[in-house]
Amino acid sequence: MSNPIELNLSPSRAAGICASLPWLALSAVLLAISLSITPLALVLLPVSLLLGWQEFRRCGRLRGANAIISLTTDDRHLRCQLANGQEVTARVCGCSSLGASFLVLKVESVVTRSDTMTAILLSPSRLCRGNVSEQAFRRLRMWLVAGPAAISR
């Protein structure tokens, strides 16, 4: 049996920028299309900027009903504490990305699979201060890669 991992996320501009980057790129493409081909593409620009702002709030500022504010693991389960106070038992989606100092975690509820939630975890480094503790980040990364048996102390 392994020790539980408790990981509390803190608000981070860097995580918010990472979350909104695809929407900012789409906004830049829409702006380029509207300047070179047709001005009708400008109609979609406010929508893409709004969606980017929502991702910045949810993943960076940890605001909004489905914002993940903490993660807890036990033997085989991952639990997500949401900003609205709800605790959800979740499973990690295959499209999650894992790096040495970052983790883009896509999770879906075990009970209802209709909605996925995203959490961006950044380990402290020289470039940014991160939004999680380094030791808990390392343990969660090992739990995700090797499974719960690798976390025994």
Q: Where are the beta strands (DSSP E) in 93-144?
A: 97-98, 102-109, 116-122
Asked if residue 2 has pLDDT above 70, the reply is no
> How do residues 44-90 score in pLDDT, each as one tens digit?
999 999 999 999 999 999 998 889 999 999 878 899 999 999 999 99
Per-residue model confidence (pLDDT) at position 152: 47
What distance in Å separates the CA atoms of residue 46 and residue 52, rounded to the nearest whole number?
10
- Let me know: does 121 contact 129? Beta carbons within 8 Å: no
115: amino acid identity, one letter: D
What distance in Å separates the CA atoms of residue 10 and residue 68, rounded to the nearest whole number?
10
Q: Tell me the pLDDT band of 104, cut-offs 50, 70 and 90.
A: very high
Is the model's pTM score more than 0.85?
Answer: yes
Q: Tell me the pLDDT band of 8, cut-offs 50, 70 and 90.
A: very high
**In the numeric block, which tokens belong to residue 3?**
């020790």
Asked if residue 29 has pLDDT above 70, the reply is yes
What is the average per-residue pLDDT within 122-131?
Answer: 88
Alpha carbon dihedral 78, 82, 87, 91, in 10-degree steps, equals: -30
Coil, strand, or helix at residue 99? coil
* Average pLDDT taken over every residue of the chain: 90
What distance in Å separates the CA atoms of residue 101 and residue 104, rounded to the nearest whole number?
10
What is the average per-residue pLDDT within 117-136?
Answer: 91
Is beta strand 78-82 parallel, antiparallel or unpaired with respect to 97-98? unpaired
Cβ neighbour number for residue 50 with a 10 Å cutoff:
11
Asked if residue 42 has pLDDT above 50, the reply is yes
> How do residues 9-23 score in pLDDT, each as one tens digit?
999 999 999 999 999
